[in-house]
Amino acid sequence: MDIAYTLKKASERRNEQFRPEGQLSFGQLRTDHMFLIDYENSNWKNPRVVPYSNIPIAPGAISIHYGQSLFEGAKAFMHDDGEIYTFRIDKNAKRLNVSADILCMPSLDEEIQMKGVHALIDVDRLWFPLQEGASLYIRPFMFATEDSLGVHPSGKYIFCVILSPSGAYYPAGFTKPIKLLITKKFHRAVSGGTGAAKASGNYAASLKAGEFAKKFGASQVLFLDSENKYIEEAGAMNHFHVEKNGTVVIPEFTDTILKSITSESIIELQKEIGLKVVQKRVPLDAFIESVKSGDIVEAGGFGTAAVISPVGEYVFEDGSSITVGDGKVGKFAKQIYEYYVGVQTGKIKGPNGWLKKVKRNNLG
């Protein structure tokens, strides 16, 4: 499927490499263009790169009323050769289709998704921010556009990709552990629901929990299963902890946990990083006891935005708290972070196919 290009006039778009002044924040900026493809009559058609602009949508669109909407999040990095490389974008394309299936939305060929992402990055490559630790955040998303108030799967969709030049998550170095609130009040997902999908509605459902956590000085909630027995996710990240013997434990993927590409990658890289990573169900009570006894020495979250967010403390609604290890960023977290970022930025050779170079089509 050939992509059509309608580009902004040269005078209206970035014409030299982006060199941001001051630290770039995450997700605020956009580039000059976006990628779109439409679904109608059981077919995807009209793939195109067009200027970034509002997308007209009918007030009765099913995504607005019934939440048929999903997204992905990935990153591209500039390597020392000056070229831009996407990181494991094939995994995001696959997961988008898993989410689509859960939400009764159509799948979109993974090659087309990746082609769209690469075509867009190529056209907007001057937006890659030249700043230590910066990346180009890639946001593919799909939403229902059929104008219909009956509750049923939409017959029309748009798949879109936008880009956001973003700064380093840890501009002051990898130093900041977060706090998580342990509460039984909120649940992100229930078995049989949409927890394993990157469904927009899952994030709407987590906002109240996040606001509640802030009242206790925590940045997010440690999400538990609906029976409050097992640890599931650390806000919008997979949870992990490290046992005294150095084994990293990630809760087993169930239908209430998003299969994090960061977690999966760390599992695949465990030998190279020099760690053992296992997945199993993590009972909350045993976890708390082991943090108290010092049998758990580190904990945190894995996700694309930060790679790792170490947790220094878990707080409870009664004001009490437990500290993980010495409450600081631990050596295992540092070891994983440095290796992982090394692979992403091309400083350490990772497995074949993880990084895909954005070809220059000289359309810009």
Ligand X SMILES: Cc1ncc(COP(=O)(O)O)c(C=O)c1O
Which one among 113, 194, 262, 309 touches ligand X, defined by CB under 6 A? 262
Which one among 233, 240, 315, 341 touches ligand X, defined by CB under 6 A? 233
Which one among 33, 35, 73, 163 touches ligand X, defined by CB under 6 A? 73
Tell me the closest approach of the beta carbon of residue 190 to ligand X, in angstroms: 14
**How many residues sit close enough to ligand X to count as binding (CB under 6 A)?**
12
Question: Binding of ligand X at residue 135 (CB under 6 A)?
Answer: no
Q: In this chain, which stretch among 55-63, 101-109, 211-219, 258-266 interacts with ligand X, using CB under 6 A?
A: 258-266
Q: Match 């196919």 to its residue by tokens.
A: 353
- For 288-299, letters b (16+ CB in 10 Å) and e give bebbeeeebbbb
Q: Which of residues 280-309 bind ligand X (CB under 6 A)?
A: 302-304
Question: Binding of ligand X at residue 123 (CB under 6 A)?
Answer: no
Helices 89-102 and 110-123: angle between axes, nearest 10 degrees: 130
CA distances from 66 to 55, 62, 154, 203 (A): 19, 5, 10, 14
* Residue with smaller CB distance to ligand X, 34 or 237: 237
Question: Among 118, 75, 25, 135, which residue's Cα sits nearest to residue 265?
Answer: 75
The set of residues, in sequence order, having a beta carbon less than 8 Å from that of 245 and lying 6+ positions away, is none
* Residue with smaller CB distance to ligand X, 38 or 110: 110
* Residue with smaller CB distance to ligand X, 3 or 266: 266
* Residue with smaller CB distance to ligand X, 32 or 232: 232
Tell me the closest approach of the beta carbon of residue 233 to ligand X, in angstroms: 5
The set of residues, in sequence order, having a beta carbon less than 8 Å from that of 18 and lying 6+ positions away, is 126, 127, 128, 129, 130, 165
Beta strands in the chain (DSSP E): 4-5, 33-40, 43-51, 69-71, 74-78, 84-87, 135-144, 157-166, 178-182, 220-224, 231-234, 237-243, 247-251, 276-280, 296-303, 307-316, 321-323, 355-357
Which one among 78, 261, 266, 299 touches ligand X, defined by CB under 6 A? 261
Question: Binding of ligand X at residue 86 (CB under 6 A)?
Answer: no
Tell me the closest approach of the beta carbon of residue 307 to ligand X, in angstroms: 8
Question: Binding of ligand X at residue 113 (CB under 6 A)?
Answer: no
Write out the residues near ligand X by the rule CB under 6 A: 73, 233, 236-238, 258, 260-262, 302-304
